[in-house]
Amino acid sequence: MRALRAGYLAAAAVTVFGAVTGRDRLQWLSKPLLMPLLAADTFTAAELDPVERRLLVGSLAAATVGDILLIEPDDDRRLIAGASSFAVMQTGYSVLWWRRGARPLAAIAAPRALAWAGAAGLLRAKAPALAVPLTAYGATLGTAATLASDPGLAPEAKNVAGLNIPNGDPRSRYGLGALLFTVSDGLIVLRRLFARDDRTRRLTEGVILATYAAAQYLLTSPPQRVDSRRRSME
């Protein structure tokens, strides 16, 4: 494991611990380090071409802004601003997956579209002030998740129910990463709408951060070095 990615996992563990135990200071110290550590690892990834490197670093920079805003997840203004930052990140990921050959497939997009519509309806009913910005963000999330799960990204991986099953090819991990990201974001909505007591909020926030950190780790897995050489030959 690369040292910077190991540092990322350590910072993620501290962030989750801070959320579960209510130690906001730990989150303020560790959470802003997460995406910069992955971005720094990106700079050392010889497998990436310059355009992909810029896309990833830009996406992770937007995610950093979102991470800082969402350290206080119960502030709706910060939640909306954070969703805007993550929409930029998801758009960057979509462009990256497209460059790597991913294309939207109806069978993969359909269940994600249904989940998006369900979440939009729930928001309209329970939190109308959040419905438009979070539904718009959900569209960028669904697009990125659909592309990340394209079997063409990792042709040797099994695809079960529209999800690539991770194998030795790092690209096979993108679909699982996108799924975890969707779970994390879905829990943010459920926490906002239904979590009432402090203990439930803290535990849910810990799960949100754990799934988010795992998602970003998988989504930023660099492609195999051979892919870079093959692209340069085409």
User: Among candidates 88, 78, 3, which has minimal Cα distance to 37?
Assistant: 3
pLDDT at residue number 49 = 85
Q: What is the pTM of this model?
A: 0.91
What is the C-alpha separation between 221 and 48, in angstroms, rounded? 11
Q: What is residue 128's predicted lDDT score, i.e. its pLDDT?
A: 95
Give the gyration radius of the chain's Cα atoms: 17
How much is the pLDDT for 232? Answer: 39
Locate 10 and state its tokens. 């350590």
In the three-class reduction of DSSP (H, G, I as helix; E, B as strand; rest coil), residue 163 is classed as: strand
Q: What is the pLDDT along the chain (234 residues), one digit of tens a residue?
A: 689 999 999 999 999 999 999 998 999 999 999 999 999 998 777 678 889 999 999 999 999 999 999 998 889 999 999 999 999 999 999 999 999 999 999 999 999 999 999 999 999 999 999 999 999 999 999 999 999 999 999 999 998 888 999 998 989 999 999 999 999 999 999 999 999 899 999 999 999 999 999 999 999 987 765 443 344 334
Token code pair at residue 16? 């989750």
Counting Cα atoms < 13 Å in the Cβ hemisphere of 39 gives: 17
Cα–Cα dist 145/10, whole Å: 26
Q: Which residue shows structure tokens 């939190």?
A: 127
d(CA 38, CA 156) in angstroms, rounded, equals 26
